[in-house]
Structure 1
Amino acid sequence: MHTINGSQGEGGGQIFRSALTLSTCLGEPVRIRNIRAGRRKPGLMRQHLVCLHAAQAISGAEVTGAELSSTEVTFKPGEVRAGEYRFAIGTAGSTSLVFQTILLPLLLADGVSEVCLEGGTHNKQAPSFDFIQAGFLPVMAQMGYRAEVQLERFGFYPAGGGKWRARIYPVGELKPLDLLERGAVLSKEALVTSAQIPGHVADRELRHIASKGDWVPEELHRRQVDSFGPGNIVSLRVYAEHVTEVIEVVGEKQLSSERVAGRAVKEFKRYMEAGVPVGEHLADQLLLPMVLGRGGCFRTLAPSQHLLTNIEVIRQLTGTEISVRRESGPAWIVNVPDSMQAR
């Protein structure tokens, strides 16, 4: 049984989720210790527990340590079963992180799966539903993975209550990812989504975005939505020939509209000026599908601690040596070998 130390690197929940995904896909048991040791409240929170239950449900795994605040879990998966599943977090925890935990195992299963997810849909420090739909899944499709998603209800922190569905298809022919160039920028969009928030908040955010860059009125959009509780998120999108980058900042009570928008603009400028196709957050999420697929390479920004930690967890569980090297200026190259040849 592999043992993974959850305190290594950035010490967050990603170590736990990546270990679950790899264990489920490879059919190999794993023990994860010191879970989320780098966080203010270590151990499993509700959304991590739902990730564990979800991985258990699709694989019939034997599990120990499946309780809130647990800092050690053992996970012995069986065969992954395609089917219909529903996973409700019960809080505003991120449904996208639950989805990403079970996506690859279900993609590698032998039938179509229907998954319903309930909880938070647009969370701080997690990919939103929009990021999954517009940014992540199109790149997955380039590798031969296919999933379709549909949002039914928005869910913001702290009320939650969001709901969406995914239809996940078994893979056919997998292909290496070759994403070294962004290609021509076709269009860009600044989208502010709000629920139960005064209209002037979105107006101020859009005005600030327009004042800080080359944005025309046709690229600035407001989206007022229904949800169980208030929420606000700024989304800056770059639609390029080979990739769509989605940069998001969630509004918070203690942050002014200008600061929320300003954070998004700063990250947007960093991405655009680097000239790379893959943004910081997408880079981290491409590693597992590449390792379990046919490998490949991509250009991205300087590696985050999340990325480096994920690389180390992957090495420990699969033996795959992922290389990260600086190309020039802010651009870095990530290369994942085709480990399928060795299977």
Structure 2
Amino acid sequence: MDDAPPPRADSTRFAIGSVSSQFVELDGSEGEGGGQILRTALSLSMLTGRPFRIVRIRANRDRPGLRPQHLAAVRAASRLSGAEVEGAAVGSTALTFCPLPFRPEDQAIDIGTAGATSLVLHTLALPIALAADRPVRLCLDGGTFNEKAPSYPYLEFTWRKHLSRLGLDVALAMPSSGFYPRGGGRLEAWIEPGRPRPFVADRRGTLVRISGVAGSCRLGHRRVADRLRDRALELLDRAGLGVEPTITLADWPGLFPGAALALVAEHDGPAAPATFVGLGERGKPAERVAEEAVAELLEFLHSPGAGAVDPHAADQILLPLALAEGRSIFTASKATEHLRTNARTISRFLDVPIRIEEEDPGPTRVIIG
């Protein structure tokens, strides 16, 4: 291709813009057996130029194969990288992805359902940041509050701040909230060019703040948000954490009704705050939503050995750290199957040692490089 951009030199672990004929073979049923393997493979295929084949996609899920949010990620990755793709259809259990050198451009992506915009963003953010020579804007339509994916408050208060501390700057906005099952949300992201740097966070510092936001959309009044806040404050006060929680109220814009509570714990030290989100649904009392969010927060705060990073962030920061020049070490409150699966998938593309040391009881220690 005469108009293909020249390869961009990289001093980390690979050459951005290179293309390889060496296929990576992946089994989507390994480990957690969900979409994690596919998302990481798409990111690393774009970055390394290595094509991959994956079979038995999401084999461990009730509805195996590609769902709309996975298909949206595949199609967006294909557009960005000019990739040749086979098997890109809802329900497909096998996919072949062969990328070309690319230069990131602004993208508008409509999932078409309440599927998680956050997971599409996770797939594209790193390849864009490392290959871009200017800020790139993504506009993603779909779900912004999802049961089995990071919701918008988690992206804003935890994921984005982790990336910033690793040297990768992303700005986020939610012009419209989107809740299951109708969606209708919009997530906007502005991704700056950048390179990840190593990270060390081997212990959790002192708890300095608990904050949060209780919000609702198109429920006609703020009573639901009030109940979310009041029940959460009652439970947190009873827990005796030694800090005074503050929870603000939000009236989120959006096309369809929904409600959520996000609780954020901040500690001294290099790790980003940890965020825990309770999601409302039809027939579910606001008090139970608050109880679920508080229970997850307290589980993290009282975890043995006090790992520095929350269990959801641990697998999300693994990939940028594998791309950084130098060794990274962090502790997590526990190891998830997502973390183990992500480590195995990264090792198929990059020659970077990743060691996960689990202690029972005690935090999980992760060493990269």
What do residues 200-227 of structure 1 show as CA deviations (whole Å, max 9, x unaligned)?
Answer: 4333332322222238886132212221
User: Do the aligned partners of 2:311 and 2:336 also contact (CA within 8 Å) in 1?
Assistant: yes
User: What is aligned with 2:62?
Assistant: 40
Matches within 5 A, 1:178-197: 178-197=200-219
Q: Deviations over 1:23-62 (max 9, x none)?
A: 1111100001100111111111111000001111111111
Relative to structure 1, the CA distance from residue 109 to residue 199 in structure 2 (aligned partners, 3 Å threshold; closer, same or farther) is same
Residue 281 of structure 1 pairs with residue 312 of structure 2: yes
What CA distance in whole angstroms lies between the structure 1 residues aligned with 2:60 and 2:353?
Answer: 25
Q: Which residue of 2 aligns with 1:58?
A: 80
CA–CA distance in 2 between the matches of 1:48 and 1:64? Answer: 14
Deviation at 1:190, TM superposition (A): 3.0
Match of 2:343 among 311, 317, 321: 311
SS at match of 2:131: coil
Q: For residues 51-90 of structure 1, what are the structure 2 equivalents within 5 Å?
A: 51-90=73-112
Choose from 156, 161, 166 the match for 1:133: 156
Q: Which runs of 5+ in 1 are unaligned?
A: 338-343
The whole-number CA distance in structure 1 between the counterparts of 2:123 and 2:211 is 29
Instruction: Write out aligned runs for 1:27-176 (5 A).
Output: 27-112=49-134, 113-172=136-195, 174-176=196-198
Moved more, 235-244 or 83-92: 235-244
Pick from 207, 211, 218 the counterpart of residue 230 of structure 2. 207
* Count of residue pairs the alignment pairs up: 336
- Superposed CA deviations along residues 170-212 of structure 1, whole A, max 9, x for unmatched, are 225x421112233343321132111123644333332322222
Judging changes above 3 Å, is the alpha-carbon distance between structure 1 residues 226 and 146 closer, same or farther for their aligned structure 2 residues? closer
Larger mean Cα displacement after TM superposition, 98-107 or 143-152: 143-152
Aligned to 1:321: 353
Shift of the 111–315 alpha-carbon distance from structure 1 to 2, 3 Å rule, reads same
Superposition TM-score, scaled by structure 2 size:
0.86
Counterpart CA distance in 2 for 1:34 and 1:204 is 44
8 Å CA contact 1:176, 1:293 repeated in 2: yes
Scaled by the length of structure 1, what TM-score is found?
0.92
Secondary structure at the aligned position of 2:296 is classed as: helix
Which stretch shifts more, 181-190 or 86-95? Answer: 181-190
Distance 2:173 2:289 in 1: 27
CA contact (8 A) 1:83 1:111 kept: no
List aligned pairs for 1:242-253, cutoff 5 A.
242=270, 243-253=272-282
Aligned equivalents of 1:263, 1:60: Cα separation in 2: 43
Secondary structure at the residue paired with 1:108?
helix
Contact 2:209 2:245 in 1 (8 A): no
- 1:76-123 CA-to-partner distances (Å, cap 9, x unmatched) read 011131221111111111111101101110011131212111111121
More helix, by proportion: 1
Q: Percent identity?
A: 35
Structure 1 vs Structure 2 CA RMSD: 1.9
Does the 8 Å CA contact 2:50/2:349 hold for their aligned counterparts?
no
